[in-house]
Amino acid sequence: MRIIPNEMESLWTLFTAPVVWALHFLICYVSVAVYCAKSSQISFGFDVVRLGVVLVTIMALALIAMSGLLAWRQWGFGTHDPPHDDPTRHDRELFQGFATLLLSGLSFVAVIYVAMPLLFIAECSP
């Protein structure tokens, strides 16, 4: 069994990167909000939350990079130029690969932006 499939058959791969972005966004905001609301009952410090978010961020970036890599492969590593607008199976695949690649790039940058506040915000406000 292969972990990485040979071929992209489903439209769902298109959404992988934005879904990772959305989940990462939720995890960042929910974990900090819950921690700060309950900080009086929690024994570990805020730095643990920050470290956790850094780890989640690295995982999210890795997933998105992988999605981008697969998309790049599906797009033929850039050997074909857009627009892929012929009504053929081949062009549909190239189009999906290219679109997935662009979405992966967007999601990659967005995940970094979402995580950036944690670099600077070191405590809950009282």
Partner 1 sequence: MSGFSQVVRGQAVERPPYPRSPLRYGFIPILMFAHGCAGIQSTLEPTGAEARQIATLFWVMVIGGSVVWLAVIGTLLYAARWKGEPHSAQSAGRLILWGGAIFPAVVLMALLAYALWLMPSLRPQSGEPPSAPLRIEVTGEQFWWRVSYRSKNHEASIASANEIRLPLGQRVEFVLKSSDVIHSFWIPSLGGKMDMIPGRTNRLSLLATKVGIFRGPCAEYCGTSHTLMAFYAMVMDPAAFDIWLEAQSQPSEELASDGKLRFISNGCGSCHTVHGTEATGTLGPDLTHLGSRESLAAGILPNTEEAIRRFIADPDVIKPGSKMPAFRMLPEDDLQAIASYLKGLK
Instruction: Identify which of residues 12 and 120 has a Cβ nearer to partner 1 in the complex.
Output: 120
**Choices 9-17, 44-52, 62-70, 111-119; region in contact with partner 1 by CB under 8 A:** 111-119
Regarding 18 and contact with partner 1 (CB under 8 A), the answer is no
Footprint (CB under 8 A) of partner 1, residues 70-99: 81
Of 11 and 86, nearer to partner 1 (C-beta) is: 86
Among 1, 3, 4, 122, binds partner 1 (CB under 8 A): 122
Q: Is 70 in contact with 13 (CB distance < 8 Å)?
A: yes
Task: Tell me if 126 contacts partner 1 by CB under 8 A.
Answer: yes
DSSP 78: T
Q: Extract long-range pairs of 115-120: CB within 8 Å, 24+ residues apart.
A: 115/24, 115/28, 115/53, 115/54, 115/57, 118/28, 118/32, 118/50, 118/53, 118/54
Q: Which CA distances in Å does 89 have to 9, 13, 14, 59?
A: 11, 16, 16, 33
User: C-beta of 102: minimal distance to partner 1 in Å?
Assistant: 9
- Residue ranges that bind partner 1, judged by CB under 8 A: 81, 105, 109, 112-113, 116-117, 119-123, 125-126
